[in-house]
Each structure stands twice: as C-alpha cells, then as structure tokens.
Amino acid sequence: MTTTLTVRDFRPDDAEAAVAAHRAGREHLVMTAETLVWLNTLELPGEHFRTFVAELDGRVVGSVRCAMAVGTTTVGVGYANGSVLPEFRRRGAFTGLLAAAERHLAEHGATEVHSWVDDAPGSPAFARARGFAIGRAGQFSARDLTLPLPEEPVRPAGVELRPAGDWAADPRPLFVVDEDASRDEPGEVVLDAAEFEDWRRGVWSRPDLDRALSVVAVVDGEPAAFSLVHTDGVDRYWSAFTACRREFRGRGLAKLAKLESLRLAAAAGYRNAYTSNDTTNAPMLAVNAWLGYERCAGEFKGIKPLTIT
C-alpha cells in the first residue's frame, strides 16, 4: 500500500490533531488546542516560532514546534520538539518534521538545535541516528489530587499567600521573581536577558495560565516566590514554574506557594497534577516529593549541530 507523506505549515484547524500527537503516550503533558493556536500567533521578537504538521494520506498524525531561544545572551540556539501518533510511527513522519524544523531554524541563524527526547524504548537511538548527542536528564512527576495533601508548615511571620490574579493590573513584580529565578534554572542556555514586555505577552498572557490557581508568596507586601499554573480547564493541572527570588530562599516560600496552589486546584475539581524537573535540581525534587508527587516519565536533552546550507 502506497502512503503519501506531506509536511506543511500548521493551520488553526490542525490544533486538535497536533495536540493529540503531542500528548500521545505522554499523559503528563498538558496542552490545549487553544494554546497551540495562540502560540502560532504570538510572534515574540527574535523567536520565529513555527509549527509544522505531518499528514499521512491526508490525516494529521504528528507535529513539531520550533523556535529560536530568546531571553538569553546565548546566540544560535534553536529548539524543536514534537511527536507522532504511535500507530503512525516508523513511516518517516517525524524525520520529515525534524528536517522542516531544522531548515526553518537554520534560516534564522541557528547553529545548533536542542530537542527533548523521551526516556522510552527506541527514542534515544532514534535521536542519535539523526545526529543528536544525548545529554542531561529530566523527569516528570504526577500527583493524584483526590488524595490528601500535606498539612501546611508553620507560615513565617509577614508572609501572605495570594492569587496571581491580584497583579492583573501590573504583573511586573511577578516578572521580577521569574527573571531572578530563571537565571538559576539548570540548562545549557542561561536565561539572562529577559524583557518584561516579552514575558507579559509570552507568559502572563497565555490562555492556559490559571491566575486564580497560581499562587504568590508575599513577604511584607513584596512578591518573593510563586507557583505558576497551566490547566486544561477540565481536570489536568501543570506546574509551569515554581520560583523564588534569591534573597528570599531558605524560608520554604516556594513550598508554601505550591502547596496552596495544589489545595486550590483540588477544591476546584482538578484531579491530575503534573510537574517536571531537571534531575540535578535536588531542592525542587525534594519539595515535590514532600508534596506527594511520584516520578511518572523521563526525558533527555538532545543537542545537534546545524550545518544546513
């Protein structure tokens, strides 16, 4: 039987199928079709975000999202992440998607491409065969929100826990937390050049950011830590970033914010909570273990030099 493979640009009506491919075999990933459409209209300076889809005999069976790394002084780094529905793999769909992503990134100055590779049978070998070196590891963890949460530790004097929505009129104080903590995130690309307007558009304005469930720890009136949350609007909760400013660390503020966020999520009817961490991030792994998260999947960072001319 002859199979026709087509790789093309994403269209809004591809969103449901593209998200289904993204999540196939990865129940820990939380992504909505609305968010994918939004990402493809965002146009942050220098990012050049683009999604490609693969069609087999007219059916969208996979997708890849690619862009240049922004918010950093590191130059020449692009990323490409995607997946194909399991029943349509080994037919060249992801190879075609990756080639399209690499051409796009090279056109915008990328000299290397980074991609997350599932810790699953065959995935690292597939990546190596396409020129990727396999590096550091990350892990995903899940938490059943129908089970009891830990009791809140004694809250330090002067600390309030407030919803992120309280800063809707001016979220800049939350950007300060994000910008400071992001510099210490494990990874090959140091996030040392964040701009408030890009953060406001790309983080604060995401359609799946739940400002009511995102919780800010405030010390004497000043935001010191937060736990930002994405949800699917039904029953799935994703910890997008739990962060604490350097000068406020060591007081358990990130733990308090995340615990309160999970409590609110459970009360709102969310049943499945997911998070991810670099395996070297011992402090956050310890917080998540205390909160009752358990490892459910893993991934590796793949890095490939780009030599497309």
Domain extents in the chain? 5-110, 143-298
Report the phi/psi class of residue 176: left, alpha or beta, with left for phi > 0 and alpha for psi in -120 to 50: alpha
For the chain, what is the radius of gyration of the CA atoms?
A: 20
CATH 3.40.630.30 fits domain 5-110: yes
pLDDT band of 308, cuts 50, 70, 90: low
Q: Which residues contact 56 (CB under 8 A, 6 or more apart)?
A: 3, 4, 5, 88, 91, 93
Q: What is the pLDDT of residues 185-205, one digit of tens each?
A: 999 999 999 999 999 999 999
pLDDT score recorded for residue 3: 79
pLDDT score recorded for residue 309: 58
pLDDT band of 271, cuts 50, 70, 90: very high
Q: What is the pLDDT of residues 29-54, one digit of tens each?
A: 999 999 999 999 999 999 999 999 99
pLDDT band of 307, cuts 50, 70, 90: confident
Q: What is the pLDDT of residues 164-181, one digit of tens each?
A: 999 999 999 999 999 999
- Name which of 109, 116, 2 is nearest 47 in CA terms: 109
State the residue for tokens 């001016």. Answer: 170
Mean pLDDT value across the chain: 96
Tell which CATH classification among 3.40.50.10420, 1.10.10.60, 3.40.630.30, 3.40.50.2300 matches the domain 143-298.
3.40.630.30
pLDDT score recorded for residue 25: 85
Intrachain domains 5-110 and 143-298 with the same fold? yes
